[in-house]
A and B are shown apart, each in its own frame.
Chain A
């Protein structure tokens, strides 16, 4: 169920649980777009999302990176797309996704193989924070939430 963006926690991250926050596209960038630079970077994402909608059958994207935190130490939005056999077939092949998204849209897109929770879980990488001075005394298991947007 889509809900508005929650307040950030004491570490400046989306609170956990849930790990994945289902957010409507129109609610983004919300609190992550308070500065002009953040809005500018998010507009790159919107351009890429428009391209996805027009050219692919992708139905959901994951948004991650330091953009989803109170830190100003970021230069881009990281986006994740899970590829599945069905998605690839609907798209007419993998070539459909083989575009230089950074050069054309300024978005870092990470394509993932189908999630295999028993082996490893690509969602785990998204929920693991980067080292930052503002995160002292944080526990080994510190997690951050990230965002899923249905297109």
Chain B
């Protein structure tokens, strides 16, 4: 369905109805300038189509991922719009998580490629009613526009597969066993390793409203959602994501790494180790008993030992922390 065209057609039908009503009023000897209330419903319909529906239509047609938060305090209350702070925070969270997943992708994380502006997602909707749409960066085709990425550019692939795994993880949370669906999708896609899946689970968990006053759930749609399904994710799915994150498993190979501790999410016991000699940041999962240490050693140099998953160059990608000690 081309929703933009569909919405424009619907608006045109309202214009036709107004024209017909004008003619009818004239034929009945009425004065349209006096009979203004007869047109109010049509004008309200046009306002609704152009102001409220068109942003959704465009987002649905163009987005790889489109999110719409739903709840009693979005379209009601003293103001039809959410407060700016909340809009800004939610948009910022979504953007941060999407970039984090892309940066965890091996094409980026296991290379010396720097993040570039041309790899940024395009925004198809950022509506004050908490509707957000995102689209993959444009790629060049036969025009060889060098301002754009090629479709096989490692960074483009990283962004594309990150959006795809976000759609799959979101869809998997509709199932009682998300891991089966995630693993089935990741099978045969070596780039979608534990680190990427962990980052995607965190991203989706962060996107789902949790203890958010007046917001019940988020609807997710777009090309990245498998089978074009739309999803509705609420508190139950947030809990399911939390359980899935806790169930992440890695092989039994040991590693010792020294780097700077940068917390990601104390709720799911994750931090990143950055500033590692010759390596990109590594996602780490720690135990509750490490929580005080992690809190007190934020941005400090530490040594981490634990089990890890490695990339093809045998660089650690994801570490389950067993011991963690300060490193001066």
Interface of A toward B, CB cutoff 8 Å: 37, 72-73, 75, 78-79, 83, 85, 88, 93-95, 97-102, 108-114, 116, 120, 122, 124-125, 128, 130-140, 142
A133 touches which of B6, B20, B34, B66 (Cβ 8 Å): B66
CA distance A108 to B42 in the complex (A): 9
Asked if B7 and A136 sit within 8 Å, CB to CB, the answer is: no
**A122 and B34 alpha carbons, distance in the complex (Å):** 23
Contact B60 A111 (CB under 8 A): no
Q: Which of A111, A116, A125, A131 contacts B38 (CB 8 A)?
A: A111
| Minimal Cβ-Cβ distance residue in B for A126 | B13
- With A120-B16, A128-B6 in contact, is A113–B57 under 8 Å at CB? no
B contact face: mostly helix, strand, loop, or mixed: helix
B2: nearest residue on chain A (CB-CB)? Answer: A140
Report which residue of B2, B6, B41, B76 has the largest number of chain A beta carbons within 10 angstroms of its beta carbon.
B41
Alpha-carbon distance A24/B178, docked complex (angstroms): 46
A75 to B230, CA, bound (A): 23
Q: A79-B41, A108-B41 are in contact. List 7 more A-B contacts (CB 8 A).
A: A37-B72, A73-B70, A78-B45, A94-B30, A131-B6, A135-B1, A136-B230
Residues of A within 8 A of B16 (CB): 120
Contacts of B36 in A (CB 8 A): 98
C-alpha gap A109/B17 in the complex (Å): 13
Which of B10, B24, B35 contacts A98, CB < 8 Å?
B35
Q: How far is the CA of A109 from the CA of B229 in the complex (A)?
A: 34
What band does the interface of chain B fall in when counting residues whose beta carbon is under 8 Å from A?
A: 35 or more
A-B contact count (CB 8 A): 120
Let me know if A95 and B35 touch, CB within 8 A.
Answer: yes
Asked if A75 and B75 make an inter-chain contact with CB atoms under 8 angstroms apart, the answer reads yes
**Neighbouring A residues of B34 by C-beta, 8 Å:** 95, 98
Is there a chain A Cβ closer than 8 Å to B308's Cβ?
no
Q: Is the CB of A101 within 8 A of B56?
A: no
Q: Are A99 and B37 in contact (CB under 8 A)?
A: yes
**Using an 8 Å CB-CB cutoff, how does the interface string of B229-255 with A read, 1 for contact, 0 for none?**
110100000000000000000000000
What chain A residues lie within 8 Å of B70 (beta carbons)?
72-73
Do B17 and A73 have beta carbons less than 8 Å apart? no
28 A-B pairs within 8 Å (CB atoms) are namely A37-B72, A78-B41, A78-B45, A83-B21, A83-B24, A93-B30, A94-B30, A95-B30, A97-B37, A97-B38, A98-B36, A98-B37, A108-B45, A109-B40, A111-B39, A112-B20, A113-B17, A113-B24, A120-B20, A124-B13, A125-B10, A130-B10, A131-B57, A133-B56, A133-B220, A136-B221, A137-B227, A142-B1
Q: 1/0 per position for B213-230, CB-CB distance to A under 8 A?
A: 000000111000101111
Closest to A89 in B: B28
Minimum Cβ distance to chain B for residue A41 (Å): 11
B interface residues with partner A (beta carbon < 8 Å): 1-3, 6-7, 9-10, 13-14, 16-17, 20-21, 23-25, 28, 30, 34-42, 44-45, 49, 53, 56-57, 60, 66, 68, 70, 72, 75-76, 219-221, 225, 227-230, 232
Nearest 8 A/B pairs, CB to CB = A110-B41, A113-B24, A113-B20, A131-B3, A131-B57, A133-B221, A137-B228, A94-B30
Q: Are A130 and B13 in contact (CB under 8 A)?
A: no
Give the distance in Å from the alpha carbon of A135 to the alpha carbon of B44 in the complex: 23
Inter-chain contacts of B20 with A (CB < 8 A)? 112-113, 116, 120, 122
B17 & A110 in contact (Cβ 8 Å cutoff):
yes
Question: Are A134 and B17 touching (Cβ within 8 A)?
Answer: no
Contact B1 A138 (CB under 8 A): yes
Q: Which residues of A contact B23 (CB under 8 A)?
A: 113
- CB proximity of B46 to chain A, nearest CB, Å: 11
Assess whether B21 is in contact with A112, with CB atoms less than 8 Å apart: yes
- Decide yes or no: A130 and B28 within 8 Å by CB, A101-B37, A110-B42 being known contacts: no
Q: Is the Cβ of B17 less than 8 Å from the Cβ of A112? A: yes
Nearest chain B CB to A86's CB is how many angstroms away?
11
Are B45 and A110 interface neighbours, CB within 8 A? yes
CB <8 Å contact, B7 and A131 = yes
Closest to A129 in B: B6
Please indicate the chain A residues that have their CB under 8 angstroms from the CB of B57 in the complex: 131
Task: Indicate which residue in A88, A102, A113 contacts B44 across the interface (CB closer than 8 Å).
Answer: A102
Distance between B53 CB and nearest chain A CB, rounded to angstroms: 5
